[in-house]
Structure 1
């Protein structure tokens, strides 16, 4: 049997069993992470929520002991034929699949060709982190406008959280300054007080002061409206007939109206101003009142004498 080849180079049955068990065995933390990743990070990754998604995924991977696959700390073994490499590949492939399931359809093409979880994580960080950092500019330009104070502060906090999640740091005093710059003119007195204050305050105290100031301004506005209403009611009570007077139709008198000149028949005349008696011919009385009206023998001598 000299033609029989030696078998010492073939792997032993125990080695084959070990490699097979390593390949087929998935750690329990990895099973939990892959099975519940969509519940742990319910909102798929988009260009707008990278910061929150980044924090959620990193937290869950860290809690289950696989953050090194994302950050690159856990590298693939150099010997691709070893059991250690097979175990690493098993874990990393499952983690990459988990990442795929948390990414929206618009972002998935960025990482679809990635060969490891670390490569996919790095691509997403490189593409989407600059978008998150642009929120610093948004924070500087943000205005309260018609929002309630609580809504405005919640919006500012979401921007600040996104900035922090992207790796940037922002000083609390800068946050307060940006908030003050976004307040409407009704808060000018409050802004001056905060800026001139010598005692430092933290963000929580600053938020509480802002909410109290909003309540104070609302109360002042209601008092002003009530005062105006009382003034109007008092004025109406003092002049009860003013409305009726205002509703009465009045025909305005024409300005600069010239009266027509009197007719010649109505103009006074020295000859017609006094009546002339038909009997005696004298001026100043009529025939009915004439002294000679019953004297048939009377004959006027001079009608021009009064």
Structure 2
């Protein structure tokens, strides 16, 4: 066993080629998720999990165990930041260094993982583009997966749809009422296509302008459908879906049907709420 260990470690790639994220005070779970598979692949994980203890109570430089243990200790030390390295200064074995880092940072990293999950469950698109919004959702999901807290695709899609603005309600309804099984990539493609189509047709405002409208309208909230009376037609998150006010009365004569252009089909004399194609997924 000792000979095979020496051969593996001599032919193994540098730790810097395998571990891309160095240990900080906040990413212990992510760091350990990288370094443990590397140690297993080299037959060295026993030096940190206690399954390969020293042959006796006295560790000597001449023993076969000692150079292997020092190699693992060196790998650990080279994969942490300078700030963290001060935590293990003076420690002489890989197992002692590993235990020290675990006691120091594991609980903090678990709290960070919980925070990531909470952020994912409450994420909102707001004024982000669909591409930026998707990247943020995906990054949170990937971080949780890397530390062994993987979020299933169906749950990730639910979080992603939940955070969309009200102007995406027709798309959300279409996706959630279909019997087909969507992947995360499928949903992203639908959201991106929806955004491009409606920005092109002028039914979704450009985001910086929409923010200015929100701040000027002084409605006391970000929900465009629940805005006060007399609101702009492009209130909320840049949406132009509704032409009625909160009381449910028809618009004034200045906003007659002849002035309307449907946001879905592009034809005049009606709006999206009255369009025949409102829920027509094929259209």
Task: Tell me the TM-score range normalised by the shorter chain.
Answer: 0.5 to 0.7
List per-residue Cα deviations over 1:213-250 (Å, max 9, x = no partner).
2222322227999xxxxxxxxxxxxxxxxxxxxxxxxx
1:174 aligns with 2:155: yes
* Superposition misfits of 4+ residues, deviation over 6 angstroms: 222-225
How many aligned residue pairs are there? 201
List per-residue Cα deviations over 1:142-190 (Å, max 9, x = no partner).
2223333222222222211221222223232221111112222221211
1:210 aligns with 2:188: no
Aligned to 1:183: 164
TM-score by length of 1: 0.55
**Partner SS state of residue 27, structure 1:** helix
**Partner SS state of residue 121, structure 1:** helix
The 1:215/1:47 distance shift into structure 2, 3 A limit, reads farther
Deviation of residue 100 (structure 1)?
A: 0.9
- Separation of aligned partners in 2, 1:156 and 1:223: 22
- Separation of aligned partners in 2, 1:119 and 1:206: 47
C-alpha contact 2:9 2:42 (8 A) present in aligned 1: yes
C-alpha contact 1:51 1:162 (8 A) present in aligned 2: no
- Separation of aligned partners in 1, 2:155 and 2:44: 36
Deviation of residue 82 (structure 1)?
A: 8.8
C-alpha contact 1:54 1:165 (8 A) present in aligned 2: no
The 1:44/1:207 distance shift into structure 2, 3 A limit, reads same
Out of 27, 30, 48, the residue aligned to residue 6 of structure 2 is 27
Aligned to 1:140: 121
Structure (1 or 2) with the larger CA radius of gyration: 1
- Separation of aligned partners in 2, 1:132 and 1:76: 34
- Separation of aligned partners in 1, 2:28 and 2:202: 42
CA RMSD, 1 decimal: 3.4
The 1:183/1:113 distance shift into structure 2, 3 A limit, reads farther
- Separation of aligned partners in 1, 2:116 and 2:187: 22
- Separation of aligned partners in 1, 2:42 and 2:168: 48
List per-residue Cα deviations over 1:83-120 (Å, max 9, x = no partner).
9x922222111111211111112322443354432343
- Separation of aligned partners in 2, 1:224 and 1:125: 49
**Partner SS state of residue 63, structure 2:** helix
Structure 2 matches for 1:93-172, cutoff 5 A? Answer: 93-112=70-89, 114-126=91-103, 127-128=105-106, 129-130=109-110, 131-172=112-153
1:88 aligns with 2:83: no
C-alpha contact 1:40 1:60 (8 A) present in aligned 2: yes
C-alpha contact 1:133 1:163 (8 A) present in aligned 2: no
